[in-house]
Structure 1
Amino acid sequence: MADYCTTNPMEFLQFEQLIPGLPDDLALECLLRVPITSHPSIRLVSHLWKSTVSNPSFFSNRRRGLLAENHVFLIQPLSPLPLPPPPLLSSEDKDAVIGDTDMIDVKETVHSGPLLYNLNVFNTNNEEWRCLAGITIPTFSQCVVLPTIGKLVVLGGWDPATLEPVSRVLVLDLAVGTWKEGSPMPTARSFFACAAVGPSTVYVAGGHDGQKNALRSAEAYDVVADEWKALPPMAVERDESYGLSLTEDGKFWVISGYGTESQGRFKPDAEVFNPESNTWEIVTGVWPYPGNNPKSTAIVIVEGQRRWWYIVGGEIKEFQWEDKIWKGINLGSIPKRVTELWSSSSSVSLLDVGNGKIFLMGNGENCGGEGMIILERENVDNNNNNTNKGGVNWRWQHVHAPPRFLGFPFSASHLLI
């Protein structure tokens, strides 16, 4: 059991069994199969169970045993009946634990204040929706998952009362289930680009300040050290840009965006930050849609290839990295409800959730609750009749979401845990 349990000075734990009467290896197999939503409860059973299920190796074993559950984290408005916000931490309590994040259903409490946001979770394995209670999420904040260290970071956005940009940072330990207040961003900003680069670093760039001025500034946050550092500014202002990172090059991409004087007219290029040289490089020909927000995109890794998808004009287009052009792709017969989603929602986002699945997210309130779709890649026999080349079919699956989860997700991320 030494591989699964943290060091504990209490000697009696050396002789305690995970489940009395069962060998520890068999008992561990039982615990590995407990759904993640039950972990807050099983941590209360004993010190040994708590240390076991809180150890990173426990989640590594869940993934290796194909027992991990795929969770999509979404920052959504608490619609239609938001909860009143809990009190914020004082500056003296910055390092204090905010509390357990027991995933419970939202209580339908009428609140007449400003529109509030919450961090919701969708389990694609069992199609279960939950909200993370007990924490105030700034309006239009961004969420980023760091799988290697098992953390989720919520950054920036607006104060829901004043509608001013905030520098607030919240860090969720996904193994233990507790929030902590992180060091605030040096620059309060909203509608910025952000992405995780490497095991423990989150990059942010662009967005706008409290006067709606577009920003060139960029910063990096080391989640483990809880420290920020300034990066060189970008060449131009980039409000409402889209951030991404590619594991093969370790660089931070800031796609498109617009300047203060050209609001809503998105730039055709991108800026790429290289951590090794500490410099930015402009890459042209990346975004040919000046009237469209690049946020509705996804990076999809299929058979080791980079695929960047975007929904435009009622179809999914794929970016060809070598030629720097966008081309329509054949996904077979598209269900009517999907085309209705595209036509009825002003924004539709894509998220790669692994295992050949793409999560399409629209505003379910505008399309009869049909706002969430999973597009699943299926390999088929080339001798069979299939609609796509290369022996691939795509299956469209409607995701049922309760009314309280139908608001359009401002930010989304995913983790296999």
Structure 2
Amino acid sequence: MSASEEFNVTGGFQSRRDLISGLPEELATECLVRVPFEFHSSLKSVLRLWRSLISDRSFDRERRRAGKDESFLCLVQPLTSPSYPVNSSVDGEVSEKKKEEEGESHSHQQQQPRVIGTPLYGLSVYNATLDTWHRVAIPERIPLFCECVALQDAGKVLLIGGWDPETLQPVKDVFVLDFSAAGRSWRRGKPMSAARSFFACAAVGPTKVYVAGGHDDQKNAIKSAEVYDVEKDEWVTIPPMTEGRDECHGFSMAADLGFCVLSGYGTETQGQFRSDAEIYDPVSNSWTVVQNVWRFADLSPRGRTAAVIESAGDFRGCKLWCFVDSQRQCQPRWEVEDDSMKWRLVMETIRLPVTTMTSVFAASLSGQAVAMIGGGGEESGTMMMMTKGEKNGGKWSHVSTPSVFSSLPFSYASIYV
């Protein structure tokens, strides 16, 4: 076969220029971008030309242009059953047959020494476009309570920090999943300079992830911070925050490329959540404190706040949804700025369809409010989503949630593919 020809699955030969025999390239591309994400691996095995096309980042852009990209919610959550395999595929749905086939290898993993009663954590993926659930194949145990963050432009999802499942000590680990059409393969990234857990974490810009705060192996609140460049695979230390903040939450600051660390508590004040936030400005390489942002001293912002994409072109700052129980008294909306009036934080409350006795984990996905409900009652062990475009007073609807995906997550990230 000459270098200018490719074997066609129908039994003939075709020019390398023909994505689909007999169709113009533009029309053939339009056909391929409409194939669901879960079949992309199969497509790449058909023709080298298809592999080259699907592996290129421009293919993702074409899917987005055609409105055929799919929206994924990635959840770090404890596995609900000790017999459930850790390494189910991201490309396929959960099946009983798959469980049986992998039961032996999973039993071997559980024989490894570890702290008795320590749960196994996995990365679950909810495809909101197709309403399907998957578990991502991971070659080794991921840390407990690791942070999940997505870099949309890079097509990658990262798992950072958390606790070692054997020793229950904070770790520096970084796992990188290529979630684009080019791979969906795992690799270990360069570790952080400091081990930390329950820290603030957010993607800022196309390739960088910021981390700050958390606690060390002595449960001391940390104020150090650093930034990871996923393309260069390197960490750079930035100035520390003014205060140590454990159980804080992180967000990016719109187009200004700032990094916001919300609330948290100090070493001596565990469980008493601060009302302020600190924002890092990469231009001045300094932190600014913003007062009176978080107004719930008895609630962690983790799992209760989610960043919302602000469409206004002149918006400078961060808009957050704050998810509150149906009986809690609070303002529907508040807005604060720092002293220099450079940074603005807008908080809008969303009422959960539950009482204060129920555990929740809330997020945002494709402009919709999402909540995982747990802790008892008829809403327990399920995901709910608010109708797009509706906020206060919006209607909540159930998302079909298989029992193996019903445990409350620790962290999440959303990504389009």
- TM-score normalised by length of structure 1: 0.82
Range with greater deviation from structure 2 (131-140 or 270-279): 131-140
Decide which of 270, 291, 298 is 2:306's aligned counterpart. Answer: 298
Give deviations 1:371-394, integer Å, cap 9, x for gaps: 311112348xxxxxxx98xxxx73
Q: Secondary structure at the match of 1:190?
A: coil
Cα offset for 1:58? 0.5
In structure 2, the partner of 1:321 is: 335
1:69 maps onto 2:66 in alignment:
no
Aligned partner of 1:353: which letter? L
Render the CA deviation track for 1:11-68: whole Å, top value 9, x for unaligned.
Answer: 5466252222333222211111111111122222222111111111101011111111
Residues 271-322 of structure 1 deviation map (CA, whole Å, 9 limit, x = unaligned): 1110011101111111121110011101223553654221234268654224
Higher mean C-alpha deviation, range 247-256 or range 216-225: 247-256
Aligned equivalent of 1:7: none
Q: Contact between 2:202 and 2:259, CA under 8 Å: does it hold in 1?
A: yes
Q: Superposition pairs for residues 96-245 of structure 1, below 5 Å?
A: 102-105=91-94, 107-108=98-99, 109=103, 114-135=118-139, 136-175=141-180, 176-245=183-252
After superposition, the Cα gap between the structure-2 partners of 1:43 and 1:317, relative to the gap in structure 1 and judged at 3 Å, is: farther
Residue-by-residue CA offset, 1:334-389 (whole Å, 9 max, x unaligned): 8xxx633x44433x2332212x311112337765545311112348xxxxxxx98x
Q: Separation in 2 of the partners of 1:325 and 1:183?
A: 32
Q: Which runs of 5+ in 1 are unaligned?
A: 1-9, 87-98, 380-386
**1:364/1:18 CA distance change after superposition, 3 Å:** farther
1:372-391 alignment to 2 at 5 Å? 372-378=383-389
1:310 aligns with 2:322: yes
* Cα distance between partner residues in 2 of 1:123 and 1:101: 10
CA RMSD of aligned residues (A): 2.9
Counterpart in the other structure of 1:406: 406
Shift of 1:232: 0.8
Deviations 1:154-213 (A, max 9, x none): 101111121111111011111221111100111111100000111100000001111111
Deviation larger for 366-375 or 129-138: 366-375
Displacement of 1:251 after TM fit? 0.6
Structure 1 residues 43 and 291 mapped into 2: Cα distance closer, same or farther (>3 Å)? same
Provide structure 2 residue ranges, at least 5 long, that are not aligned to the other structure: 7-14, 111-115, 338-343
Distance 1:328 1:179, change over 3 A: closer
- Partners of 1:37 and 1:250 lie apart in 2 by 33
Letter in 2 for 1:414: S
Partner of 1:284: 291
Could you tell me how far apart the structure 2 residues matched to 1:365 and 1:58 are? 44
Q: Is the 8 A contact 2:219 2:267 kept in 1?
A: yes
1:395 match: 395
* 1:372 alignment partner, SS class: strand
Whether the 8 Å contact between 1:253 and 1:272 is mirrored in structure 2 is yes
Aligned equivalents of 2:195 and 2:161: distance in 1? 7
Deviating more after overlay: 204-213 vs 315-324: 315-324
1:60 match: secondary structure = helix
- Distance in 1 (alpha carbons) for counterparts of 2:41 and 2:348: 45
Residue 52 of structure 1 aligns to a residue whose secondary structure is helix
Distance 1:24 1:344, change over 3 A: farther
d(CA) in 1 for partners of 2:197 and 2:347?
Answer: 31
Residue type of the alignment partner of 2:222: L
TM-score w.r.t. the length of structure 2 is 0.82
Distance of aligned partners of 1:266 and 1:125 in 2 relative to their CA distance in 1, 3 Å threshold: same
Are the counterparts in 1 of residues 372 and 381 from structure 2 also a CA contact under 8 Å?
A: no
- Quickly say closer, same or farther: Cα 1:103–1:206, change in 2 above 3 A: farther
Contact 1:364–1:371 (8 Å) recurs in 2: no
Decide whether the 8 Å contact of 1:218 with 1:233 is kept in 2: yes
* Residue of 259, 262, 278 corresponding to 1:255: 262
Task: Report how far residue 100 of structure 1 moved.
Answer: 8.4
Cα distance change of structure 1 residues 204 and 37 upon mapping to structure 2, 3 Å threshold: same
Amino acid aligned to 1:105: V
Letter in 2 for 1:48: L
- Assess if the C-alpha contact under 8 Å between 2:213 and 2:246 holds in 1: yes
The Cα shift of 1:125 comes to 1.2
1:307–1:319 Cα contact (<8 Å) kept? no
Contact 2:93 2:132 in 1 (8 A): no
Shift of 1:395: 3.3
- 1:82 CA drift (Å): 5.0
Percent identical across equivalent pairs? 40
Please say if residues 310 and 318 of structure 1, whose CA atoms lie closer than 8 Å, have aligned partners that are also in contact: no
SS of the counterpart of 2:142? Answer: coil
The alpha-carbon distance between structure 1 residues 69 and 60, as it changes in their structure 2 partners (threshold 3 A), is same
Q: How many residues align?
A: 377
Question: Compared with structure 1, are the counterparts of its residues 345 and 258 closer, same or farther at alpha carbon in structure 2 (3 Å cutoff)?
Answer: same
Distance in 1 (CA, whole Å) between partners of 2:46 and 2:133 is: 25
Give the AA of the match of 2:321. W
1:134-153 deviations in Å (ceiling 9; x for gaps): 33321111111111111111
